Amino acid sequence: MQQTFAAEILKTQLEVQEQTMQTIGADLHDNIGQLLSLTSLTLNSIEISEVNKARQKIDTALDLNSRCIKELRLLGKLLQGEQLIKNGLTEAISNEITWIEKAGQYQVDYQTENFSTESNVDKDLLVFRILQEVLNNIVKHAFATQINIKLCCRDKQLQLIVEDNGVGFLTDEVPQKQHGMGLHNIRKRAELMGGEVGIRSEPGTGTLVELNIPYP
């Protein structure tokens, strides 16, 4: 069991790193690349003889540059994802939510309650990856606009609840391919931590995923 747990931790670390690189690649292409292109176009269009218009374009270029610097700082935090988990699960989740909200398609409500100052880095990593799996499923399949996340710890039990207002599904009719990847991994990792996952969903009513594990 210890060997299985250690192997799963390593696999999870690699998955988190892969997810991080995918996020960085997408943001460099879709966001930072676009900001730099707009900055270049703005600066190239400046006519020195038109002082007022030149001033406006310079101000626009400065604003674009400031936004680009802000985005690069966020990417810098993302590159330290493993360190964020070591600094605490709540901070890692907050950072993940930042990237979900950047898409502009979701309202995210994140609450923590009675979260213990004690921690277990290995469990935090697995819980964080489970959250990523759930969020990925929401983005890919749910067509949701609202995501509610609640993390609490009491009586040596950690509870993570993720709920969306998406299209929902019949849990006993999940396509085999989807079941074999995301949901299977979520349940397996919960079991490795001595916990369990409950999934409640119906067409048109959204989905609720509840993880409960011993903690720390």
Domain ranges of the chain: 1-79, 104-214
Q: How far apart are the first and last CA of the chain?
A: 18
* pLDDT value, residue 114: 83
DSSP-derived 3-state class of residue 99: helix
* pLDDT value, residue 116: 64
* pLDDT value, residue 163: 98
**CA-to-CA separations, 173 to 78, 87, 141, 144, 188, in angstroms, rounded:** 36, 39, 14, 20, 19
Ramachandran sector of residue 204 (left: φ over 0; alpha: ψ -120 to 50; beta: rest): left
b/e 159-186 (16+ beta carbons within 10 angstroms → b):
bbbbbbbbebbeeeebeeeeeeebbebb
In CATH, what number does 104-214 get? 3.30.565.10
Question: Mean pLDDT in runs of 10 for the chain (216 residues)?
Answer: 89 88 86 91 92 93 93 79 72 90 92 82 93 93 96 93 95 59 86 95 94 95
Scanning the chain, the segments in alpha helix (DSSP H) are 2-27, 33-44, 51-79, 81-87, 89-102, 121-137, 176-178, 184-192
* pLDDT value, residue 177: 47
DSSP-derived 3-state class of residue 103: coil
- Note the pTM of the prediction, 2 decimals: 0.81
* pLDDT value, residue 17: 84
Nearest to 146 by CA among 106, 112, 111: 106
Q: Are 201 and 169 in contact (CB under 8 A)?
A: yes
